[in-house]
Structure 1
Amino acid sequence: MTGRIMPWLWAVALGVTAWGTIWALGFAPADWQQGETVRIMFVHVPMAWLAMGGYLGLGILSLMSLIWRHPLADLAARELAPVGAAVTALCLATGSLWGKPMWGTWWVWDARLTSVLVLFFLWLGHAALVRAFDEADRGARAGAILALVGLVNLPVVKFSVDWWNTLHQPASVTRLDAPGMHVSMLYPLLVCAIGFSLLFGAVVLARTRAAVMERRIRALETARARRADVPA
């Protein structure tokens, strides 16, 4: 099934991402306060959404691993973690680039920034932990427990700007009453978010597919080695 899906997924993901990027960088207006630096938003905000949404997915996979012992959930979680760490790193990097002209500093120990940094370490911790054991099952269980414990950080990331007085601006896109952003910026932002999300899914799916194939190859090699050791 994935073999049939992958070419279409890559094509749609690259097409939507290109469309959103051209729209955001070439045609969306500059902000009246932030000027051209507001264009960092078209990468930063989707990366932040993917960092949190991806970690929620990691938690679901970890729950499936611990309850149903599903081997595909272990493989998907193992391959998801490095991709999640990468998008979280991009979120932090673009946030710093955006913060310098807006706040006058690259970094502050703001509640939102600090909680996203903790999220980045959780991603890295999971990626390292599942690879730290010789037995893959033990690593998968340890990583699943860490991922589930780390879920408590997601509400902190989401609501930190509401719970504490922070430099980071409050939510302007996901407000329930009305978005605090003009449609000329909101629409290209949503297209970019869809494109990056499709790319995220394509990368994770490709990595998981490769991991399944690798496991099958190892199983075949082990079976051949065992047959070779059996005396005629």
Structure 2
Amino acid sequence: MAPAVKATAHLSFANNTQVSITRAGCGSTKVCVETPTDCDPAGNDTCLFGSAVAAAPVAPNGAEVTVQLRGNSTGYIALGLTADQTQGNTMLFICAQNSSDGGKFFFRTMKRNNTDKMLSATETPVKEIRGLVNGSLIQCEFVVPNVNASTTRNTQDTSFKVLLGSGPVTGSMIGAFAVALTSGVLNLADPSGNGTNTTVAPTTAGAGSVLHSYALLLLLGVVALSFTHRA
């Protein structure tokens, strides 16, 4: 396992931003994944919960995806999107607290190699980020524009496997990502077509952490997953 590396920058937000995450709309207006199965994020302290809603994709930019994430960690929780769990990459969206800074909420994105499970620095546009930390409970909401599972810009695909997991944070150092759940293939633009619970058995934990800087805005294009951005 690679050692944790101190990040030089991250997006930081107010600790008391209003965030309310429930199961309302699961299977009808939003795709939901959770562990334990069917747990209630509004009242279950052990519930690791994520949801996603994708607007209709527009070529060549892809779809805009609204994400909610809720879980317990003294470090971070994360939601990942991948087109293929065994190869290519997973795009990770990390909601975290900095224990050395009073538990202040911060957010960042990383890329996980699906072959060796290592994390690496990446940058993808994310907007409307809101986060709340209350003890070990972390809740966050954010919007990811221009999401496309296809490597071909003229082909729009909103079908992904969704990963949920967590990991440690020491100061601004991100530790290994431990996968708690990996879903089957879910179409983020068609919640009703996926059913209310389509998740499969958890996978083993991933490893690695990276130096992550928000100095650049990069176009992420990978073999199994691409997030395209057009100015």
Smaller-chain TM-score range? under 0.3
User: Which structure is higher in strand share?
Assistant: 2
TM-score (norm 1): 0.25
User: Which structure is higher in helix share?
Assistant: 1
TM-score (norm 2): 0.25
Q: Which has the larger radius of gyration?
A: 1
Q: Which structure has more RCO (C-alpha within 8 Å, separation ≥ 6)?
A: 1
